Amino acid sequence: MAPYRQTGEALTADLRAGATVAEALNRRLPERPIRLSHGDLCFVAQADLPAGEAYEAFIHRSACVPTRDNLHDLLNGLIWLHWPELKTGLNAAHIEALAVSGGVQAQRGRLRDALTVVDENAALLQAPPELCEALVARDWQRLFIHLRPLWAQARLHLIGHALLEKLMQPRKPICAHVLVMPLDGCAALIDAPLDPAWLAGKPFHPLPVLGVPAWWAGNEDENFYADTGVFRPAARG
């Protein structure tokens, strides 16, 4: 969580001084305004979301993010502050999916389910091809032991706010839904429109994040990866 530390500490100070989660997040926005199609983003109390209106539709219409006073919504706001293009793109994709379903919230479908997975539990991996291939194959021994030196060239970005929330109480089984990105940047997901067909295909790969080298002291021992209850081999054909 190191990339989020500076902002997180500022938010924590505001909360301890009596601010609501929405107020604390809004105090960070003048530093980095986020422009949506209907105005500059702001955070509002959950009570401002009209009954019956879809959460994503309200954000699109009002440029306001309904926010409760809890850790989950605090971390959602933290991701908005750090990954505004990604969150804006997710919102736009939700709106397109709602339009296809005639605005009916209950009709989620594969695309909206995939968008929710990205929003809640995803991570972006930029890594050498050998690491990516081992991840896709769920070859944990190769990924974490034989290719361990290659992790020095990799970057794993945690972008799911529910994933961050789970890691507040770390447990070995916590998994991210990983999207494999180009080593030289995240442009395919961040700076370009989300490809609905690609996301609807659920191009995710599970990764027990505490297995990432240098992320958890226990994984310095190779026996850490012998736990097949967590590091399960890929199902065969």
Judgement on whether residues 142 and 70 belong to the same structural domain of the protein: no
- Residue range 50-66: average pLDDT? 94
Please report whether residue 30 resides in a domain.
yes
Cα distance between residue 185 and residue 125, in whole Å? 10
* Same domain, residue pair 126 and 218: yes
Residues 216 and 126 in one domain: yes
Contact 32, 84 (CB under 8 A): yes
Mean pLDDT of 99-105: 58
Q: How far apart are the first and last CA of the chain?
A: 37
Q: Which amino acid is at 135?
A: L
The answer to the question of residue 70 being in a domain is yes
Per the CB < 8 A criterion, the answer to whether 77 and 43 are in contact is yes
Short-list 145, 183, 7, 167, CA closest to 83: 7
- The rounded distance, in Å, linking the Cα atoms of 56 and 117 is 15
In this predicted model, which residue has the larger pLDDT, 190 or 122?
122
User: Rounded distance, CA 66 to CA 207, Å?
Assistant: 30
Q: How many domains does the chain have?
A: 2
Please check whether residues 72 and 145 belong to one and the same domain.
Answer: no
Residue 39 pLDDT > 60: yes
Distance (Å, whole) CA 27 – CA 16: 14
Alpha-carbon gap, residue 112 to 54, rounded angstroms:
12
CA 37 to chain centre: 22
pLDDT higher than threshold 70 for residue 97: yes
pLDDT digits (tens, 9 = 90+) for 125-181: 999 999 999 999 999 999 999 999 999 999 999 999 999 999 999 999 999 999 988
The answer to whether the beta carbons of residues 125 and 176 sit under 8 Å apart is no
Q: For all residues of the chain together, what is the average pLDDT?
A: 89
What distance in Å separates the CA atoms of residue 81 and residue 67, rounded to the nearest whole number?
Answer: 14
Q: 21-35, 95-109, 163-177, 191-205: lowest mean pLDDT where? A: 95-109
User: Rounded to the nearest 5 degrees, what angle is found at the Cα of 15, between the Cα atoms of 118 and 48?
Assistant: 60
- Please report the sign of the dihedral spanned by the C-alpha atoms of residue 81, residue 82, residue 88, residue 94: negative
pTM higher than 0.85 = yes
Select the more confidently predicted residue: 187 or 120. 120
Mean pLDDT of 16-20: 98
pLDDT of residue 187 exceeding 50, the answer is: no
Q: Which domain holds residue 176?
A: 120-226
Task: Mark whether 75 and 139 lie in a shared domain.
Answer: no
